[in-house]
Amino acid sequence: MPYPKTFHQRLAGKVAIVTGAGSQDDGVGTGKAIACVFAREGASVCLVDQNEERAAGTLAMIIEVGGKAFVCAADVTDNDACARVVAATVERYGALHVLVNNVGVAGPGGRFETLDEASWDRIVDVNLKSAFLMCRSAAPQLVAGGGGAVVNVSSTAGIRSHGTAAYGPSKAGMIALTRELAVVYGRDGMRANAIAPGHIFTPMVESMLDEEAKERRIKVAPLAIEGDAWDVALAALFLASDEARFITGVCLPVDGGVTEIAALRAYELMQP
């Protein structure tokens, strides 16, 4: 879908942090899309990315349409860096209401013995530990701001096996982390939900798939289309907004129905 055109100020007056807010080249990944949609809906956004140049591209898109945002370059696998991001956001905007843990890296498939320990550690650190560290730093400020909302971007690989020794477990861990946040901080008014994107076409995915693989993804989906970053962003907007005030601890697949289809039916859909 194209950049959404209609906005309703559903995050007016809110302050949000979005990790992984940059995108490769001029493309639009999930973090960039989420940050842009949040800003268009009235939020002031801290754009977190290890690559400052990529985050600056997101900032330019937001400033162009009159939104409010700033860049905070940080490695969110580092506890001190996470604390610095939260402190910089509160210092600049005076509060914190929404945290989106979006940063992530892909992992190789194959048998377990082919994955070295260093690769496992990196995938788990980036995809799961970063979310824990950001939540740990942000939770007191979210509570102080009235509870707020955490949106964790997981993956359908955390729900169904994709044949990845580390990526799938890291994303499943993020879903479990979301449930724990929802229960532990619920009495403080904090909500926590996860999104599980699947078959979403982003710059990162584009670099990994050939045309044949893309065609398979489209054929196997009940909707027979491919999603994009804006689909994920609009789901994140809903979960972050007050419209979802009675929703917490859930994982929302944004996948065109892929996680709901049985294997034999999926096989039938893929036939000529």
Confirm whether 167 is a catalytic residue: yes
Longest alpha-carbon distance in the chain: 58
Do you know the residue count of the chain?
Answer: 272
Q: In 3D, which of 73, 195, 77, 193 has the Cα closest to residue 129?
A: 77
Check 3, 93, 167, 267 and give the catalytic one: 167
Burial 248-266 (b: 16+ CB within 10 A, else e): bbbbbbbbbebeebeeeee
Strand segments (E) across the chain? 15-19, 44-49, 68-73, 98-101, 149-153, 191-197, 200-201, 227-228, 251-254
Instruction: Give the tokens for residue 89.
Output: 């956001």
Please tell me the distance from the alpha carbon of residue 72 to that of residue 158, in angstroms, as a whole number: 29
3-state SS assignment for residue 106: coil
Q: Mind telling me the catalytic residues? A: 167
